[in-house]
Structure 1
Amino acid sequence: MGADAGEFAQPVTGLAARTTYSVRAYAINSAGASYGSVQTFTTGVATATQPAQLPGVHVYPNPARQQITITRSAGALAAAALYNSMGQLVWQGMLSDPVTRLPVQHWARGMYVLRLTAPQGVATQRLVLE
């Protein structure tokens, strides 16, 4: 990774969602090898960085404090699922009305992923609760 002393970071890519991994850092120099402690982590669900791409669907405000409003054009039903940063399902429902208001004031603050499924496709959007 480098020849300098101190901290270093290395991005890890290509990890599967909802999978537990263990990592261990090490360094080798003229004195020998030194190993860090094993660190274990579990990945969450994959997230999209772009807003929902279903035509006529809008999710606001983002970030949110009290509630999230999901509006959609009239038409076929859409299924919605909200996941926390650990990939755990925290809410799901059918969007049968043009406007759905979801109270979020009692949920933990942090990052969530909203997954919308409709006949015209599937979209995900990151949401932040403050």
Structure 2
Amino acid sequence: MMGVDPQPPVKEQDVFERGVINVFKGLSWDYKTNNPCCFGKRIIVNGLVKHDRWGYILNWGWRRDQIADLERMLFLLDGKTIPDNRHDVTIRLMNFIRDNPHQQVFEDDLFSMHYFQKGSGHITFKRLDLVEK
């Protein structure tokens, strides 16, 4: 095709740095577990979900992007390829919430997410070896 520039290759270091910056920028420093210098065993994010009489709904937008960035960072640290965004943690979380609207805990290989009616989510890292890197 004429006039179409191919996409430049994605540099893993750029993805990693952007992900770290995006996640840290969105953390609230009102919680003791959120450390402005490094990640600990757990972080707390506001605005992860909405709750109404029908159950929970995953919020879309920048918070969703932060969770996806967090997963990308852990995949890079583990030496794995970054998953397609159609199969990332946010899609799995959205499907879990859709299928279990009244459950409050989602778990996969990297995270355990406990979310609450006020919208906050406690994200516990299962692979502390990656977090320490």
Provide TM-score, normalisation by structure 2.
0.34
Give 1 or 2: higher helix fraction. 2
Q: Higher Cα Rg: structure 1 or 2?
A: 1
TM-score, scaled relative to structure 1: 0.35
